[in-house]
A and B are shown apart, each in its own frame.
Chain A
Amino acid sequence: MGRWYTGLTIGIGLAATNTGNNLLFLVLGLLLASIIVSGILSEQSLRGVRVERRLPSVATAGQQALIGLQARNGKRRAPSFSLEIRERGGDVPGHGFLVLLPAGQSAEAAYRFVPQRRGLHRFEQIEVATRAPFGLFEKSRPMDAPAELVVFPRQVPPPPSTARTLARDGERPEDRIGLGLEVHSLRDHRPGEDARSIHWRSSARAGRLIGMDREQERRKRVCVVLDQRPLRGEVLERAVEHAAALVSRELDGGAEVSLALAGAFLPAGSGEAHRHAALRLLALLEEGGDGLAAPEPDGEGSVLQVRE
């Protein structure tokens, strides 16, 4: 609109100069004054506005992620109008809009974006722009806000299991006393012991209270192995996605999962923090690495080799 407005102003200026009609000069004055007032107010609207970006804790390729833009108006009296807050210079295009940001207050805008790839997404600057009050011209102010967001691999169904070594499903007993379900050994009941430790059948047979010890059980342990060295492009991406799917599936199944990659190893573990660590490792996996050492699977437990 600014171009039209400027063109019209120039046209009226020429007409006024040509005819010497003072009323056209008056109209010209109004148009020029509006440009000046618009510029001053735009500047005023941007002054004192600070923006912080709020990144999501988890972002996955192919799934919508919400980025928050927390804006604060540091001015004491003057509100800011019609603010467009947008990313500038980074990997993520996005923008939010605030109609009004009262003086001394904060407000949050947000935008959604769907990451198309895994890996590191850089954010460089946030640009606050406004066309207030008349929408004639845009005035913007960039501000440094470097940040990084690691996008986890795309969620796909896990591949058919190609386990090199298969273990029993579920928990595996160890030959020592613990808190498992299986009975390890029988002994005399000790006074004060929990009644649930009494082996009632043996007690009935022996005519006295017989206690029992249970076996120590260990959780299922799986090592997901991915040798990325020969993989390139889409093949690598599919392999990473499959590895991520396997990690998630096993973790969801209650297993302790370790991750063996060429040049990197994540010891076995479970829980959300471990899942994020594994997915983060997979998200940042890069092509190449010919000089890296071959993956070394965890010696214990099953090995799930991702193959192409």
Chain B
Amino acid sequence: MPRAPRGPTLLQAQRWAGTLTSAFAFLACAVSGEMGPAMTALFPLAVAGSAVAGRRFHGRVQWAWTALLAGALLVFGVQVLAGHIDIILAAALFAELLCIHRLWHRRTGRDELLLLLLALLLLCAGAALSAELTFGLAFLGFAVSGTWALALTHLRSAIEEGRGPAGSAALLNSRRVATPALLSGLAALSLFGIAGAALVFFTFPRVTIGGLRRASRPAPVAGLGDRVDLSRRGTIADDPRVALRVRLNPPPRGEPRDLAMHWRARSLSQWTGHGWRSPDGGLIPVMRLPRRPRGGGVPSVLSADIEVVGQFTDGVVFTPEGWPLGVDFRRPGSPRQLYRNVEGDLFYQPVDGGDVRYTVAADLDEPAPGGLRGRGQRYPSWVEADLAVPASLDARVHALAKRLGGGKDPADAAAAIERWLATALRYSRELPGDVADPIADFLFARRAGHCELFSSAMVLMLRSLGIPARNVTGYFGGRRTDAGYYAVRAGDAHSWVEVYFPDAGYVPFDPTPASARGSRQEGIGARMVLLWDSLQQTWRAFVVDYDLVSQTQAMRRIGQILHETGQRLAGRDGATGRLRRVIAAVGTAVAAAAVIAWLRRLRLRARKAQERELTSDQRRAVALWRGARRLLKRAGVEIAVGTTPGELARRVPAAADIARAYAAARWGGAQLAPRVARAALRTLDAGLQVAREHRP
């Protein structure tokens, strides 16, 4: 006994596909995070509700739905006019409500098509609201489920039209139609659609008008603040989120997996008793960055293409190690302008909360430790803030500093303190909590701490010796990704020290043990974050940022490849122009002949396929019919395509025998001997000949 098929009926599969399509379209909008929690939660609830109780509400309380939608339209309109939300977001929200309404009122194939139409509008709204990779994933889901939905809805409509309501019920409720094989085939079909979409996407001319472009969404600003508080409690947790994406030119030698590089954000020179803060003062625009003191010779320049994730920028410009020579904001015509504060830290404005990308050129030639000696301790007045020693500083700190660096050259003193801290004390992520003197507690009690304690202790020890120093924050490290950039993660946040030397400027020192700098994130979670970020960057590079320039470059590259291929085909030494023309002409002729032969073959195959299904008598009848038509055409008698044998016999009496024989053999199952057919044609030919001769 054959087993009854399992799985959904055609009607169920079609409805599920429609629901899934609208869900993916909603997801494409929701990932932007702009729809608000209420509207975001509403859709899944409505889908679940429609699945459970949708049928009970078919056709009921229509007035309530109409009132709800009209009210929503009014509210969104007012909000748009008041400037609370933009029109794209309002359209997306309204499309969501329309989608929900349709999900609760699905009866006919037309309702299903309307649902798919609304889902497409929702997807378009999502395209305007979000540019993230999550949109791309929702788009893929939409492409697959949309293919299911469109094909199954068409099948449903065609069955309903072809068989009528009564005749179609059995087939629509059959479990033998929407089989896994059919759904798999449609999914494979959607892959062709996606491939075609990619082809169209990359080749469609990127000529844009540029009107009604939606500005990127401002995001809340976080990241490295202008304060450091050393009295926090708890444990510093690793944060695997990517903060910076860095591409170096030239790339680091050997392209190591982990980069050993300080990414400077800002300096914090004012001691607060429990930490540091940046000095007060405004920002001044920078036209050109100051040159390195006593700079000479050809600098070794590193170009760092830095992209700061919007969540981790508050307007500060990150710079790599070395002396920054210039900052170039990537986009031409970018409104961003470079600024600096009194400490020389670099900033940009305006800060819109989105990702920012710029290129920093830096001179890598830092003075050698030996070259810093002998520069004396005559400091300019503007470094006074970096000499300030808090009155409450524990005397043991000064004693320790004196023991380590007292009487030494500032360069040697700084190196000695740096070395002692890095070797004598232990790195710990445990925060000290609310202690009276976090530095003394770090140096003499716990003898362990995190990078901010190491750098703070060194700064205060150097200042106690009369050497100007300041605390610096930023990131340390960078993990290479498959997308070709180094990812600096939030957990790589770091703190180190800059010491001022006359005629050399601020020189970085890092007292944190080298093995403890940056994060050590190797877990699956951290890897997944990096993988996701890498995918997101690929998505952005190839999809979001694909523009006319990229398209032109791609086309040029393809043209170059074709040209090179042609060159190779023409021979290494190159053919003469005449030979090339001959080759091109012959190639064209061969290609044309191949196309013609292929078309003829197709036609012949189609005719043979048709004739293969006929009996020999039927084939003979068809040949007789064609022969008669040829003779008649030669005699000037045009026979229209749809002419029936009876019509032909009435119109051309001489062809009556042929018409009869053809109809009998082709449709009536009669036999037609070859000689009979030949004789009939001869008779017709003779008859037509006589008619021609006696024509007045």
Q: A144 and B199: CB pair below 8 A?
A: no
Distance to closest chain B CB from A171 (angstroms):
36
Q: A22 and B544: CB pair below 8 A?
A: yes
**Bound-complex Cα distance A34 to B193 (A):** 6
The listed residue (A20, A30, A81) touching B197 by CB distance below 8 A is A30
**Bound-complex Cα distance A12 to B161 (A):** 30
Say yes or no for B547: interface residue by CB 8 A criterion: yes
**Bound-complex Cα distance A8 to B123 (A):** 13
Known: A29-B200, A131-B158. Is A21-B213 also a contact (CB below 8 A)? yes
Q: B124 and A97: CB pair below 8 A?
A: no
Say yes or no for A204: interface residue by CB 8 A criterion: no
Say yes or no for B208: interface residue by CB 8 A criterion: yes
- The residues of B that contact A82 with a CB separation of less than 8 Å are 154-155, 158
Could you say which of B127-135, B263-271, B498-506 contacts chain A? B127-135
- The residues of A that contact B667 with a CB separation of less than 8 Å are 147
Say yes or no for B543: interface residue by CB 8 A criterion: yes
Indicate with 1 or 0, residue by residue over A101-126, a CB within 8 angstroms of chain B CB atoms: 00000000000000000001011110
Distance to closest chain B CB from A306 (angstroms):
27
Q: B143 and A30: CB pair below 8 A?
A: yes
Say yes or no for A181: interface residue by CB 8 A criterion: no
Could you say which of B51-59, B75-83, B351-359, B641-649 contacts chain A? B641-649
- The residues of A that contact B212 with a CB separation of less than 8 Å are 18-19
**Bound-complex Cα distance A138 to B35 (A):** 39
Distance to closest chain B CB from A213 (angstroms):
46
Q: Which residue of A lies closest to B161 (CB)?
A: A97
Interface of B is mostly: helix
The residues in B between 631 and 661 inclusive whose CB is less than 8 angstroms from any CB of A are 641-647
Q: B127 and A24: CB pair below 8 A?
A: yes
- The residues of A that contact B155 with a CB separation of less than 8 Å are 81-82, 99
Distance to closest chain B CB from A184 (angstroms):
46
- The residues of A that contact B186 with a CB separation of less than 8 Å are 133
**Bound-complex Cα distance A72 to B613 (A):** 9
The residues in B between 105 and 140 inclusive whose CB is less than 8 angstroms from any CB of A are 113, 117, 120, 123-124, 126-128, 130-131, 135, 139
Q: Which residue of A lies closest to B203 (CB)?
A: A29
Q: A33 and B124: CB pair below 8 A?
A: no
Q: A37 and B196: CB pair below 8 A?
A: yes
Q: A134 and B162: CB pair below 8 A?
A: no
Say yes or no for B375: interface residue by CB 8 A criterion: no
Q: B177 and A24: CB pair below 8 A?
A: no
**Bound-complex Cα distance A273 to B486 (A):** 93
Distance to closest chain A CB from B24 (angstroms):
12
Known: A22-B543, A135-B158. Is A148-B646 also a contact (CB below 8 A)? yes
Say yes or no for A264: interface residue by CB 8 A criterion: no
**Bound-complex Cα distance A90 to B640 (A):** 13
Say yes or no for B163: interface residue by CB 8 A criterion: yes
Which residues in A have some Cβ–Cβ distance to B below 8 Å? 1, 4, 8, 12, 15, 17-30, 32-34, 36-37, 41, 48, 50, 72, 74, 81-82, 84, 89-90, 96-97, 99, 120, 122-125, 131-136, 144, 146-148
Which residues in B have some Cβ–Cβ distance to A below 8 Å? 113, 117, 120, 123-124, 126-128, 130-131, 135, 139, 143, 147, 150-151, 153-155, 157-159, 161-163, 171, 177, 186, 189, 192-201, 204, 206-214, 543-547, 609-610, 612-613, 641-647, 663, 667
Offer 20 A-B interface pairs, CB within 8 angstroms, sorted by A. Answer: A15-B124, A18-B211, A18-B212, A19-B210, A20-B206, A23-B128, A24-B124, A27-B124, A30-B193, A32-B196, A32-B197, A34-B196, A36-B196, A50-B613, A81-B155, A82-B158, A84-B158, A125-B642, A134-B151, A136-B150
Contacts A22-B544, A133-B150 known; 17 new A-B pairs at CB < 8 A: A18-B211, A19-B213, A22-B546, A23-B131, A23-B139, A23-B544, A24-B127, A27-B123, A30-B139, A30-B143, A37-B193, A74-B609, A74-B612, A82-B155, A99-B155, A122-B647, A131-B158
